[in-house]
A and B are shown apart, each in its own frame.
Chain A
């Protein structure tokens, strides 16, 4: 596949860095509770903190990588936009809710179905190729565009890339990012609430 995109390296990292946050946290998720088995068995504390800390940790890594994107931007002769100051926190919040919800669900379920870990790795790779990260959304043939709307990660990644490359925001994309994020957060919290009291038994 030939990708005909100018300044491809800049284009690539603008989508890849936010994706890394999601992918690192969700692939670490299956082991979050497992690796803290002794704590879960002995101490009563809100266990979702363990998940939140993993997700925030990867989130900080992402924030620290933004200057790299900035450097590439400047190197290609572009300037960043003031809109970043508002839009970055906005998208970070959506992404945190989404990643936290997904990680919470995966981490909780993995205690009961230990082979979920394998599945998670496969799914992440699958979604990576389904999401316009290494290619642009315009390269998807028109009849497959609806798959893009069904992909819960796509609006978020597209928003990030658009923000980094052009400093603009498409509100419909932000709205669907938030919708998917809230769904992930809701489902994740629900699964956690239903299962968390059994963690110490099965870990």
Chain B
């Protein structure tokens, strides 16, 4: 069963500086602002098509600004494509960045509730999973302390513990595998294996090629918003590494000359 389908998807952003100039500029130079707003757009994804089937573990790689995060945002449904179609079937759970969706003054327990509801559970569902989440996080002794007293590693553990118990059908991970200490990382990886067994679709954006290689069944390589390669990890990653190495040679040569 196909759970994520991109059909000739293009997504562009307005270039930022026009927006930043704000109301003052648009009032003083209305026509210029409007023209700039319409014309100057950054093409983040350019005619990208792929299908992801249920239970696949897909790594998305590519240099900075190649459209990886945009792809995840389109799957999460927070962005709409300008051109093409994005179809997603199933409950999507994004793994959030450190501390996102948490409130520093609330306790760990209250934050679990807040975060769980934000990610699409009902109050009862969160309460039903509360003990499991707490046990997984191993933060029992801190749970009634306000979150601002937590270390960043503890916050990451709490966040991951909530996300891991959402029963997602599609899990989106943007470069945050390395959370907590070694012990907790091992636990995370075990959880991922459990997800894989349960046929959860996992889409992982990462620059850590080692993680992608050991973890994913399939790799999508994005380059300047275009699909450069899509296939078996060993093959795609070695081609990506070659291209990167070649790019580095080129740019260092350029520097040497000037």
Residues of A whose CB lies within 8 Å of any CB of B are 38-45, 112-116, 119, 197, 199-202
Contact = CB atoms under 8 A, between A and B. Distances in A.
Given A113-B26, A115-B23, A200-B78, 4 more contacts: A42-B172, A43-B94, A43-B101, A116-B22
Given A200-B79, A201-B13, A202-B14, A42 B97 contact: yes
Contacts of B220: none
Contacts, number: 59
Contact of B20 (A41, A43, A114, A119): A114
A113 B22 contact: yes
B111 to A, nearest CB: 13
A141 to B, nearest CB: 33
Where chain B touches its partner, the secondary structure class is mixed
B42 to A, nearest CB: 10
A203 to B, nearest CB: 10
Please list the 8 inter-chain residue pairs (A to B) with the smallest Cβ-Cβ separation, ordered nearest first. Answer: A115-B22, A38-B100, A113-B23, A200-B78, A44-B77, A42-B94, A113-B22, A114-B22
A38 to B, nearest CB: 4
Contacts of B118: 39, 43, 45
Given A38-B96, A38-B100, A39-B118, A44 B76 contact: yes
9 contacts: A40-B78, A41-B78, A42-B94, A44-B77, A113-B26, A115-B23, A199-B78, A201-B14, A202-B14
Nearest to A49: B118
Interface string B62-86: 0000000100110011111000000
A45 B116 CA distance: 12
A202 B14 CA distance: 8
Interface size class of B (residues with CB under 8 A): 20 to 34
Main DSSP-derived SS at the A contact region: helix
Given A201-B79, A202-B19, A43 B96 contact: yes
Nearest to B69: A41
Contacts of A113: 19, 22-23, 26
Contacts of B80: 197
B24 interface: yes
A45 B118 CA distance: 7
B23 A119 contact: yes
Contacts of B97: 38, 42
B156 interface: no
B30 interface: no
Nearest to A114: B22
Contacts of B76: 42-44
B200 interface: no
